[in-house]
Amino acid sequence: MAATPFCPTTAARPSISSLCGTANSGKQKSLATAPIPDQEAIVRHVDALRTLQAEVHQARRLITDWYLHSLGIATVPTVLREPFRLDANQFVAAVSKARGRQKPSLSAAAIARIREEYGNTVEPTARRLGEALQHERAISDLVNAAYGLTSDEIALMWRTAPPRMPLGPKEELRRLGFDA
């Protein structure tokens, strides 16, 4: 049975002709023959990504509020806007630096609170971002399979990918067993 096209934003299942519309009638033939990945799997991954995105957005808001209200950091530096790649020591150092030289040094208790917040907010969010990466990769793999791409074609695609891809080309090449 052929897969039905779908709209990932609404999870509606429009027909090919409604996807094309009258304004795009010249493209109707190419859309009609475009391979459609496993719809149920794509919807499952997209739904998971939506949930993860909302959770990460909430974590960013909470941590930004914490910087301001608990630590007095009014202007959040870039490294602390995206602290999810930092380890606990790097996080403490970045928070200490962001507080500025005018404020007293952090006490042992303050450092312990920063490490606790790292464990409560930053670390779990970093894990969730890792899960999001797995969903992105699964979607990429489903699309590649739908197009019937060979491993050499996939490698070529990643070697020539533009710099702002959601997935890192070098990491994807390594994951697929190619030298970056």
Same domain, 123 and 51: yes
Burial call 76-115: b when 16+ CB within 10 Å, e when fewer: beebbeebbebeeeebbebbbebbeeeeeebeeebeeebb
Same domain, 98 and 173: no
Q: What does the block give as tokens for 120?
A: 């409560």
Q: Cα–Cα distance between 5 and 56 in angstroms, integer? A: 29
Q: Is the pLDDT of residue 8 over 80?
A: no
> Distance of CA 142 to CAs 19, 39, 41, 74, 151, Å?
21, 10, 8, 44, 13
The residue that leads in pLDDT, 19 or 128, is: 128
Domain count along the chain: 3
**Residues above pLDDT 90, as percent of the chain:** 59
Strand partners, 12: 7
Same domain, 111 and 153: no
Same domain, 78 and 141: yes
User: What is the model's pLDDT at position 19?
Assistant: 44
Residue numbers of the domain that contains 125: 37-147
Same domain, 69 and 143: yes
Same domain, 17 and 46: no
Give just the sign of the alpha carbon dihedral 151, 155, 161, 165.
Answer: positive
Q: Is the pLDDT of residue 161 over 60?
A: yes
User: What is the model's pLDDT at position 5?
Assistant: 46
Same domain, 98 and 179: no
User: What is the model's pLDDT at position 6?
Assistant: 45
Same domain, 72 and 134: yes
